[in-house]
């Protein structure tokens, strides 16, 4: 009689474990989909913040980034950065806690602050690890941030769509002839990227083989979706003529180059998206 009872208990336990695994995977996938920023990190401070301008409370903690799994292209976030996280339950964390954080953007300034949607502690933190394949799922979700319809709209509204490589990045020195603008807390801090055009996918011939792309250097909330450029970056760029200051050309290396902007979500894409972009342009 006891043997039968133990046997039935074992069967029930196995069934419950089998049902729990898909549910955990589904919950993790849902969190990835809901989150705009997903990263693994180590808690370094409790009850404080990583930069000025973020309201400090018992729910704010500082986390050192160990790896970035998902983020908008415009958000500057990398391994070693400190992030302020407003967590749901501060008692779940202590100094040295390691976890994967599923979050939404909150405040962007001289740093990044986010609000927790959920988290999963790593084994070293004393709890079960995240479901197998979580990193791969997060990366896949990151690649799906922009839908085909949204990308098609960006491509249609662009003056040019080019494949190119960034050869130089520098802060823009505003000339005296530029139209004055009102300085505010959301000032873009314009920078310029010199892009060597390797192929034109839309818009006809680009004059010369290089263009200047003017972009905001700040991570302010007003510019959070605007791509930032780095030297030697290669990709697909949706360009629009720059008109804001009245200065539409820039002299680089003794040549006058046309100035463009690349400001919207999906305006800067990795080379891996080339087949998708060509297909959408064709259709």
pLDDT in tens, 33-75: 889 999 999 999 999 999 998 999 999 999 999 988 888 887 8
How much is the average pLDDT of 197-216?
88
Cβ neighbours for 205, distance < 8 A, ≥ 6 positions apart: none
What pLDDT score was predicted for residue 265? 76
15 has pLDDT over 60: no
How much is the average pLDDT of 121-145?
48
At 148-197, the pLDDT tens digits run 888 888 899 999 999 999 999 998 877 665 555 555 556 778 899 999 99
Q: Report d(CA 236, CA 214) in Å as an integer.
A: 16
For the chain, what percent of residues have pLDDT higher than 90? Answer: 39
Asked if 157 and 240 count as a contact pair (C-beta separation under 8 A), the reply is: yes
How much is the average pLDDT of 218-244?
82
What pLDDT score was predicted for residue 247? 59
What pLDDT score was predicted for residue 208? 75
φ, ψ dihedrals at 223, nearest 5°: -125, 20
Cβ neighbours for 271, distance < 8 A, ≥ 6 positions apart: 163, 234, 235, 236
139 has pLDDT over 90: no
What pLDDT score was predicted for residue 175? 62
At 244-257, the pLDDT tens digits run 655 567 777 777 78
Write the CA distances from 143 to 10, 125, 251, integer angstroms.
42, 29, 36
Which residues share a beta bridge with 37?
103
User: H-type helices in the chain, by residue range?
Assistant: 2-34, 134-143, 148-157, 274-282
């Amino acid at each position: 009689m006891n043997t039968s009872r133990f046997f039935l208990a074992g069967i029930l336990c196995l069934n419950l474990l089998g049902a729990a695994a898909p549910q955990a995977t589904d919950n993790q996938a849902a969190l990835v989909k809901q989150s705009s920023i997903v990263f693994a990190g180590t808690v370094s401070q409790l009850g404080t913040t990583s930069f000025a301008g973020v309201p400090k409370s018992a729910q704010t903690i500082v986390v050192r980034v160990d790896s970035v799994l998902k983020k908008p292209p415009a958000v500057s976030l990398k391994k070693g950065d400190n992030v302020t996280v407003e967590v749901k339950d501060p008692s779940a964390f202590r100094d040295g806690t390691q976890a994967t954080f599923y979050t939404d953007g909150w405040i962007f300034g001289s740093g990044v602050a986010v609000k927790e949607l959920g988290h999963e502690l790593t084994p070293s933190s004393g709890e079960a690890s995240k479901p197998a394949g979580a990193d791969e799922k997060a990366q896949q979700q990151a690649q799906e941030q922009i839908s085909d319809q949204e990308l098609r709209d960006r491509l249609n509204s662009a003056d040019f769509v080019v494949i190119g490589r960034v050869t130089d990045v520098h802060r823009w020195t505003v000339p005296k002839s530029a139209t004055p603008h009102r300085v505010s807390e959301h000032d873009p801090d314009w920078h310029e990227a010199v892009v060597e055009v390797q192929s034109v996918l839309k818009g006809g011939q680009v004059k010369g083989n290089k263009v200047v792309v003017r972009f905001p250097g700040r991570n302010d909330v007003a510019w959070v979706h605007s791509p930032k450029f780095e030297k030697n970056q290669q990709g697909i760029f949706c360009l629009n003529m720059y008109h804001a200051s009245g200065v539409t050309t820039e002299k680089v290396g003794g040549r006058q180059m046309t100035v463009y902007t690349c400001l919207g979500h999906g305006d800067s894409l990795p080379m891996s998206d080339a087949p998708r972009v060509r297909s959408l342009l064709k259709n």
